[in-house]
Structure 1
Amino acid sequence: MRYNFDFVKHRKKFFTFSIVITLLGILTLAIFGLNFGVDFKSGTNLDISVGQTIAKEKAVEILTKAGFEEKTFTPPTIGGNQDRVTVRFDRVLLPDEVQKIEAAFVEVYGENVTKEENTVDTTIARELINKAGLAVLLASVGIIIYVSIRFEWRFAVASIVALLHDAFIVISLFSIFRLEVNLPFIVAVLTIIGYSINDTIVIFDRIRENLRFTKLKTFDDIAQLVNNSISQTMTRSINTVLTVLFAAVCLFIFGSESIRLFSLAMIFGLVSGAYSSIFIASPVWLVLKNATLKPRKPASVGAKE
């Protein structure tokens, strides 16, 4: 199936849209930062199973009676079969405080109450943040090297622009909507990088193949080459993204609370990855390639008789 849409003609609009989202994300990050979860922020996370249905309001009431003000913990989330409460405290709880909370739930729901405690101190949280950033950096460097060897440096630059675009779009959206950033979020970002570069490489491979049969003399020649290459791979790209996107949406709707934000990050990233592969990566390569064309010499004027 061929698409006749002129992807190159509207490149400035797509560049502008991405720049606006990026600037908004930078502004939000500068003002509010990221909403780090317990994995990256010192504190205690309690996962309490009560063995029967519990409402969020009831969980807050029990925690309040146990001596904790609402401002000291995040709003509890209800997961599992509506019988599991997850609540995060912004500081590390002492052992007797954890026992006090467990006793408060036991008093209401009986001996079937069980708990799982996850505590992270400041040193570990800082180390996790540094290692997460290092993982993304190493993945980007590896991709640059691979694409430069397999294709050329212009393809590498364009692919990294698209890759960083996707990662930052997801980070920006999580910052704008104040969604919690935890370890599954980092896994989602690394997974998104993999899918993004896969979509981009499919289009670049077709561009490289079409280059063998095309002589590039003008900007229009490059534009036609890019448009044809995107059109030829569009169906494959859409089908690939929709397949994974369907799975991510199902996980978001039907999955447990612990993987919901992971699924949401994947949804954001898959949509952004499909967009950037088509509307960002290829036009960036076009701009770089166009800079290598020699300017056409003006036609010589015939001598006057």
Structure 2
Amino acid sequence: MNFKKQFDFVKNRNKFFAASVILCLIGLVALLISGLNLGVDFKAGTSIDISLGQAVTKEKANQIFTAAIEREPSVLTIGGDNQDRVSARFDEVLSDDNVRKVQDAFKTEFGENVSQEVNTVSPDIARELALKALYGVLIASVAVSIYVSIRFEWRFATAVVITTLYDAFVVIGLFAIFQLEVDLPFVAAILTTIGYSINDKIVIFDRIRENQRFTKVKTDEDLSTMINNSIWQTMSRNINTVVTILIAAICLFIFGSESIKLFALAKIIGLASGAYSSICIASPLWFLLKSRSNKKKVKAAA
């Protein structure tokens, strides 16, 4: 209980703001220099997933591709419990004949039990998917802003939208920094992040709005105290919610298949960022907006 009294989130807001700005700048630099590592969903090309039924090395798989179609995959990974699954991505669209040659080559080497799944995206479809993903994030942000403005007030909406976009950018920035692949499940993870992030912030802001009714706020110190009390009153609920979902996301990352590991990782990053921004950024940001509004009212009255 003493920790609650000692730590002041609003008073330490500049430290949180600075740390967040630095992280965003690092992510922005990574985006400008390296860009995102776009998967086949957003980049024209062909991806092939082959199940062999027996272990294979990366070098052996690469040799088979080269011998079959005289080209190496731009990305080649070996997965599965027994290292018996080959995932390859080509930056160009492979013809049906080349796809057939790949399957025949692996069947010749590993037998008739070989099966493969092929996913091809044309340049037009890749551009369309990228635009729709961007529109989805923007529409979600606008809808959130309208909802919070109606339910609460514009200052709450401003704080929610800024910090929710921050959460989404943290995920995007970290994927850009470490050059992790971005595909359609990644977009789903971003939208999921936005949803959970908004939920965390609404819980705190709803308590702030409720406490406003019973608190006489005359100074910035009174406002700061009321916000800190609201944060601590909702702390256990926020932590329990985030930890519960994090456990599920971490299990997906550890035990899930290769195809959903990056989705789970994006969710883990987004959930952690959403919990942090709800407590350390959104509420202090609303404090700044509300404090300025109160000062303007005092000046107008004078």
Is the counterpart of residue 38 in structure 1 residue 40 in structure 2? yes
1:194 counterpart residue number:
195
CA distance in 1, matches of 2:53, 2:14: 56
Which structure would you say has the larger Rg? 1
| Structure 1 stretch displaced more, 264-273 or 58-67 | 58-67
| Structure 1 stretch displaced more, 56-65 or 34-43 | 56-65
TM-score, with normalisation over the residues of structure 2?
Answer: 0.94
CA distance in 1, matches of 2:175, 2:182: 7
The alignment's C-alpha RMSD in Å is 1.5
Aligned partner of residue 294 in structure 2, secondary structure: coil
CA distance in 1, matches of 2:265, 2:234: 26
Give matches, 1:46-61, under 5 Å: 46-61=48-63
CA distance in 2, matches of 1:67, 1:280: 53
1:143 counterpart residue number:
144
The one-letter amino acid of 1:35's match is N
| Structure 1 stretch displaced more, 120-129 or 72-81 | 72-81
The CA deviation string for residues 162-191 of structure 1, in whole angstroms up to 9 with x for no partner, is 100000000000000000000000000000
Aligned partner of residue 214 in structure 1, secondary structure: coil
Give matches, 1:48-197, under 5 Å: 48-70=50-72, 72-79=73-80, 81-197=82-198
2:260 counterpart residue number:
259
CA distance in 1, matches of 2:70, 2:50: 16
Q: CA deviation at 1:58?
A: 2.7
Gapped regions of structure 2 (runs ≥ 5): none
Aligned partner of residue 6 in structure 1, secondary structure: coil
Identify which of 10, 24, 40 aligns with 2:12.
Answer: 10
Distance 1:18 1:99, change over 3 A: same
Give matches, 1:199-218, under 5 Å: 199-218=200-219
Contact in 1 for aligned 2:170/2:273 (Cα 8 Å): yes
Higher helix share: 2
Identify which of 26, 29, 49 aligns with 1:27.
Answer: 29
The one-letter amino acid of 1:8's match is V
**Count of residue correspondences:** 296
CA distance in 1, matches of 2:108, 2:114: 9
Q: CA deviation at 1:67?
A: 4.3
TM-score, with normalisation over the residues of structure 1?
Answer: 0.93
Aligned partner of residue 160 in structure 2, secondary structure: helix
Q: CA deviation at 1:69?
A: 4.2
The CA deviation string for residues 209-237 of structure 1, in whole angstroms up to 9 with x for no partner, is 10001111111011101100000011111
Identity of aligned residues (%): 60
CA distance in 2, matches of 1:289, 1:104: 67
Contact in 2 for aligned 1:166/1:193 (Cα 8 Å): yes
Gapped regions of structure 1 (runs ≥ 5): 298-305
Aligned partner of residue 131 in structure 1, secondary structure: helix
Q: CA deviation at 1:271?
A: 0.5
Is the counterpart of residue 221 in structure 1 residue 219 in structure 2? no
Contact in 2 for aligned 1:79/1:86 (Cα 8 Å): no
Aligned partner of residue 241 in structure 1, secondary structure: helix
Contact in 1 for aligned 2:164/2:197 (Cα 8 Å): yes
